[in-house]
């Protein structure tokens, strides 16, 4: 059982989730003794099962090595359960690269999809914006970016019940030097597709609420995500410093506390925890490694929603529709 905290966070998160959602059954996969130590003694709560797995994938383990050597890791066993149809989805806080490699190997990629991608929702002024890829694919061709757009739009259509999600392609604003070749070509592919493609987006569009899906390669997406986290951390740091400067500012902070809490809830990264691996024949959700129980519960909720909306099948159908008929030049 992975992540920075293992069963000490995931077991309570699972119990907490089951209390809130009567429609879900959970299987905790991990070293059984270690998992049991974080559960109430006696018989297991209803709708909770354990599945022993003797190995663990380290957070810094090479994906190829994990895939080769860890056939009884909690990650592998959990994904096997999805493959076998015993589970409808896998949620993991483990090593992202290993999770992607294992999911790809066990579940397989959808037809017409070259590479699965990682997508997550981020808070915006108006609601939320989904961004992909977030790090699974460093170098992407125009075709890869186009596939990401198809998958992202369909996931959002399903999960957020948006009929025609507005899709933007991440670029930079300067003319002539605008974009690299892949982005320019992806722009052309998108413009003549059935996707509700709005055009180029810039980094700030992630947060301004005018788009539903923003498409980019995994390097850029990852840096955009991490930079944003950095700004939020810095603002939080300075806010704390300013409000604790003197007795007077502490009193002001006390007066403003309910408002600051409401603000903090709105942009709480834990409420956005859970990134989906899309393009696979099955549902896999990646939780942040450092997630606490609230954050991990959120990731379980995302997996449940994707099961409920039958996301992989919807994506498969949409991909078949938009990519299946495309003539591939020799």
Binding site for its own copies (CB under 8 A): 60-64, 95-97, 123-125, 135-139, 170, 172-177, 179-180, 202-208, 216, 218-220, 222-235, 237-239, 242-243, 245, 249, 251-253, 255-256, 258-260, 262-263, 266-267
Distance of CA 93 to the CA centre of its chain: 11
For its own copies, give the closer residue by CB, 20 or 226.
226
For its own copies, give the closer residue by CB, 84 or 139.
139
Beta strands in the chain (DSSP E): 26-30, 48-52, 89-92, 117-123, 128-132, 167-170, 197-201, 213-215, 275-278, 283-286
**Distance (Å, rounded) from C-alpha 171 to C-alpha 187?**
10
**Distance (Å, rounded) from C-alpha 234 to C-alpha 250?**
19
What would the two tokens of residue 18 be? 């089951």
For its own copies, give the closer residue by CB, 206 or 285.
206
Q: Smallest gap, in angstroms, from Cβ of residue 160 to its own copies? A: 18
**Distance (Å, rounded) from C-alpha 39 to C-alpha 18?**
13
For its own copies, give the closer residue by CB, 8 or 124.
124
Q: Smallest gap, in angstroms, from Cβ of residue 224 to its own copies? A: 4
What would the two tokens of residue 250 be? 């502490």
Secondary structure (DSSP) of 155-172: HHHHHS--SS--EEEE--
69 CB-side CA count, 13 A: 9
Q: Smallest gap, in angstroms, from Cβ of residue 307 to its own copies? A: 26
Q: Smallest gap, in angstroms, from Cβ of residue 59 to its own copies? A: 9
Q: Smallest gap, in angstroms, from Cβ of residue 167 to its own copies? A: 17
**Distance (Å, rounded) from C-alpha 41 to C-alpha 44?**
8
For its own copies, give the closer residue by CB, 211 or 299.
211
Distance of CA 161 to the CA centre of its chain: 18
Q: Smallest gap, in angstroms, from Cβ of residue 130 to its own copies? A: 14
For its own copies, give the closer residue by CB, 64 or 321.
64
């Amino acid at each position: 059982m992975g992540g920075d905290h293992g069963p000490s966070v995931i077991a309570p998160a699972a119990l907490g989730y089951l209390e809130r959602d009567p429609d879900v059954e959970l299987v905790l996969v991990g070293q059984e003794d270690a998992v049991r130590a974080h559960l109430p003694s006696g018989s297991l709560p209803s709708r909770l099962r354990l599945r022993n797995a003797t190995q663990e994938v380290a957070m810094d383990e090479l994906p190829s090595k994990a895939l080769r050597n860890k056939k009884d890791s909690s990650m592998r066993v959990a994904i096997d359960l999805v493959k076998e149809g015993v589970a409808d989805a896998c949620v993991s806080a483990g090593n992202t690269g290993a999770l992607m490699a294992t999911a790809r190997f066990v579940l397989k990629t959808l037809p017409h999809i070259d590479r699965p991608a990682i997508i997550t929702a981020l808070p915006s002024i108006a609601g939320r914006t989904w961004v992909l890829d977030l790090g699974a694919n460093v170098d992407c061709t125009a075709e890869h970016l186009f596939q990401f757009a198809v998958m992202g739009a369909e996931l959002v259509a399903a999960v957020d019940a948006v009929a025609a999600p507005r899709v933007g392609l991440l670029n930079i604003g300067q003319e002539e030097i605008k974009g690299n070749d892949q982005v320019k070509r992806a722009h052309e592919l998108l413009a003549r597709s059935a996707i509700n493609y709005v055009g180029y987006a810039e980094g700030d569009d992630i947060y301004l609420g005018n788009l539903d899906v923003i498409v980019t390669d995994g390097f850029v997406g990852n840096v955009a995500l991490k930079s944003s986290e950095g700004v939020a951390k810095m603002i939080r740091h300075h806010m704390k410093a300013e409000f604790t400067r003197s007795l007077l500012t502490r009193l002001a902070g006390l007066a403003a506390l309910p408002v600051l809490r409401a603000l903090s809830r709105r942009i709480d990264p834990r409420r956005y925890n859970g990134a989906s691996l899309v393009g696979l024949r099955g549902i896999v959700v990646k939780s942040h490694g450092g997630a606490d129980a609230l954050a991990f519960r959120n990731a379980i909720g995302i997996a449940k929603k994707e099961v409920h909306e039958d996301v992989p099948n919807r994506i498969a159908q949409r991909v078949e529709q938009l990519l299946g008929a495309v003539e591939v030049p020799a």
